[in-house]
Amino acid sequence: MKKKNLGIHHITAIVGHPQENIDFYAGVLGLRLIKKTVNFDDPNTYHLYFGDEVGSPGTAITFFPFIQSREGRIGGGQVATTSYIIPPGSMEFWKSRLYDFNIPYIVNERFGEKYVQFQDPHGLELKLVEREEGKNNKWEFAGVTSDVAIKGFGGATLLSVLPDKTVQLLEEILGFDRIGQELDIIRFKSPGPIGNIIDLKTTPVSFGRMGIGTVHHIALRAKDDEDMMEWKNYLEDKGYNVSPIRNRKYFKSIYFREHGGNLFEIATDGPGFAIDEKFEELGKGLMLPPQYEDRRQEIEKKLIPVEVKEILD
Ligand code: ZN
């Protein structure tokens, strides 16, 4: 039986200054900073998570802000564009909001859907598209009310150095359905309720360079530990080299790199972000995994102080 994935769990990117990152994703886009922690492999840098009011799977974008890192170049083996769903009728609100914040945007159409495309302050390409699917985001901040708030991911556009191999992965292994093609973009859809579209460019693109302004990996959802274990065995049977299961505290994860260069993760829906902070407190404290708790003072001293604040446009 072919397994079907449930769509995007989270997307993780590399950016520059953490305050600029927070000012944009919380202050301009109105997402909730749901977790402020550190890179579990390098505790001297933040790992920041933004999503809907609880960071539901399919809404969370996460960042490693590296001030010293070199600039990246978007290319093969990377997510080129991340798209977000906004409620039907809210596009005019977003266009005028982007205008007010001096953020240049273009309006375009793909597969019969209009979208607004723009960049975050560090060069990541983002899109907003109106769709019915997904529940309204209850988080209201800085003039972004629930009726216009970003609901979560719509999908992602992937670039591949070997698009035929990436097609095979998406269709034959990850269980996406091919639902259309427009010029050199194939659209795939999974049965998930949100974050369920992957667009793939069929023209091969040479490798990008990881760095500021590029996506590091894209994570798909597993229902629970058992489902993830099934994915691990299934991918290994198909010849993929899959990492051991890693405990990321808010979910468990496995990673594998596909032949077209993209780094995929499969992450469990639970336990979620409320495991170490109450709903009201999400994103407020610096949450460290247990192995770093005894180094808290030293770690806090090295991190740049940041805050969630309203931005004047
Ligand atoms: Zn991840």
For residue range 84-138, list pLDDT tens digits in order.
999 999 999 999 999 999 999 999 999 999 999 999 999 999 999 999 999 999 9
> Could you tell me the distance, in angstroms and rounded to a whole number, from the CA of residue 93 to the centre of ligand 1?
31
Query: What's the start-to-end Cα distance of the chain, in Å?
Result: 53
Q: Are 202 and 213 within 8 A, CB to CB?
A: no
> Could you tell me the distance, in angstroms and rounded to a whole number, from the CA of residue 218 to the centre of ligand 1?
7
> Could you tell me the distance, in angstroms and rounded to a whole number, from the CA of residue 179 to the centre of ligand 1?
27
> Could you tell me the distance, in angstroms and rounded to a whole number, from the CA of residue 77 to the centre of ligand 1?
16
Domain range summary for the chain, segments of one domain joined by + = 8-302
Confidence at residue 132, expressed as pLDDT on a 0 to 100 scale = 96
Q: How many CA atoms lie within 13 A of 208 on its CB side?
A: 26
Confidence at residue 80, expressed as pLDDT on a 0 to 100 scale = 98
The pLDDT of residue 169 is above 80? yes
Give the CA radius of gyration of the chain: 18
Would the CA dihedral through 181, 125, 71, 257 be positive or negative?
Answer: negative
> Could you tell me the distance, in angstroms and rounded to a whole number, from the CA of residue 275 to the centre of ligand 1?
17
The pLDDT of residue 313 is above 70? no
User: Which tens digits make up the pLDDT trace of 243-293?
Assistant: 999 999 999 999 999 999 999 999 999 999 999 999 999 999 999 999 999
Query: What is the rounded average pLDDT of the residues 239-243?
Result: 98
> Could you tell me the distance, in angstroms and rounded to a whole number, from the CA of residue 253 to the centre of ligand 1?
7
pLDDT band at 2 (very low <50, low <70, confident <90, very high): confident
Neighbours of 131 (CB within 10 A): 17
> Could you tell me the distance, in angstroms and rounded to a whole number, from the CA of residue 92 to the centre of ligand 1?
32
Assigned token pair, 265: 């993760």
The domain defined by 8-302 folds into 2,3-Dihydroxybiphenyl 1,2-Dioxygenase; domain 1 (3.10.180)
User: Which tens digits make up the pLDDT trace of 15-67?
Assistant: 999 999 999 999 999 999 999 999 988 999 999 999 999 999 999 999 999 98
**Per-chain residues with Cβ under 5 A from ion ligand 1:** 12, 219, 265
Q: What is the percent of the chain where pLDDT is above 90?
A: 96
Query: What is the rounded average pLDDT of the residues 227-240?
Result: 97
Query: What is the rounded average pLDDT of the residues 297-307?
Result: 96
Confidence at residue 311, expressed as pLDDT on a 0 to 100 scale = 87
